[in-house]
Amino acid sequence: MYIGGLSLISNLIYTTYIMDILQALILSLVEGISEFLPISSTGHLVLASEVLKIPQSEFVKSFEIIIQLGAILSVVFLYGKELLVNLEVLKRVLIAFIPTALVGLTLYKLIKEILLGNSLVTILALFLGGVLLILLEKIYTEKPSHLDSIEKLTFKNAFLIGLIQSISIIPGVSRAAATIMGGMFLGLKRVVATEFSFLLAIPTMFAATGLDLIKNYQVLLDSDLIILAVGFIGSFATALFTVKFLIKYVSGHSFIAFGIYRIILSLIFWLIFIN
């Protein structure tokens, strides 16, 4: 009886452990796919956690931020050399980073305690962002005068793109959507605006991850490192493919399909989780 009881307990622990691994893997894939697409990675992580019945604990909130580091390292892997050798590109990326850094530091507590994990805010932002994405694409026309390189972007417009990016502190807005559309309407060609969004993600997400590590290191020290490793590696590998896919996609397509996707997804989750 005693041995059977231990076996049952062992099986339960093992099953729970595997489920935790699977949940971490699923969230990492969601992050890797959605981080650089204009569909909101934070929003998808919040909604994916709802589907998987994962409570929005402090660890889960930190996990969702930290796996973004894995995704962002994929951009460092692909584009890091450009930042190191091209000082003009680096200047514009750092200037664009300033507004988001100020907003993130100022509103960190609001973001962590109220906005992250809020399904209603996420669903509304997904829906409204989808509608706006479609409308902006309908009125946008790429012209020969649009800039074909980041180096030609003025410092003023780089700062404005960063200011637009700061709106993405609201889960569901999408950092990628904000920066790409901002770049397009401030004179960058679609592919160049997308590449600038990738590069701007490097300091932005490193800062967000670093700030969260400083403020919540004890939560992570007491957590399962295997879960964190699975999330990190999964998001890194998936993001590599996503970045390459998006560059090919934008060279011949608009973002209207992503806007439609956002609207449909927000309506589905509204029906499931709100009603």
Task: Write out the two tokens for 179.
Answer: 């920066």
Which residues 6+ apart lie within 8 Å of 140 measured at CB?
A: 184, 185, 254
pLDDT in tens, 37-49: 999 887 788 788 8
Lowest mean per-residue pLDDT among 10-24, 188-202, 220-234, 238-252: 10-24
Over residues 170-193, the mean pLDDT reads 93
The chain-wide mean pLDDT, for the chain, equals 84
Contact 29, 48 (CB under 8 A): no
**pLDDT above 70 (res 219):** no
pLDDT of residue 209: 77
Q: Is 142 helix (H, G, I), strand (E, B) or coil?
A: coil
Over residues 191-202, the mean pLDDT reads 94
Phi/psi at 163 (5° precision): -65, -40
Which range in 83-87, 177-181, 215-219 is most confidently predicted, on average pLDDT? Answer: 177-181
Q: What is the DSSP letter of 146?
A: S
In this prediction, residue 5 has a pLDDT band, given cuts at 50, 70 and 90, of very low
Instruction: Please give the share of the chain, as a percent, with pLDDT higher than 90.
Output: 48
Over residues 92-99, the mean pLDDT reads 95
Secondary structure (DSSP) of 31-65: HHHHTTTTT-HHHHHHHHHHHTT----HHHHHHHH
pLDDT of residue 243: 94
Over residues 21-40, the mean pLDDT reads 92
Among all chains, which residue has been given the structure tokens 């452990």?
17
Q: How far is CA 221 from CA 54, 97, 144, 228, in A?
A: 20, 29, 53, 11
Specify burial of residue 24 (Cβ count, 10 A radius: 0-12, 13-18, 19+): buried
**pLDDT above 90 (res 254):** yes
Over residues 149-172, the mean pLDDT reads 92
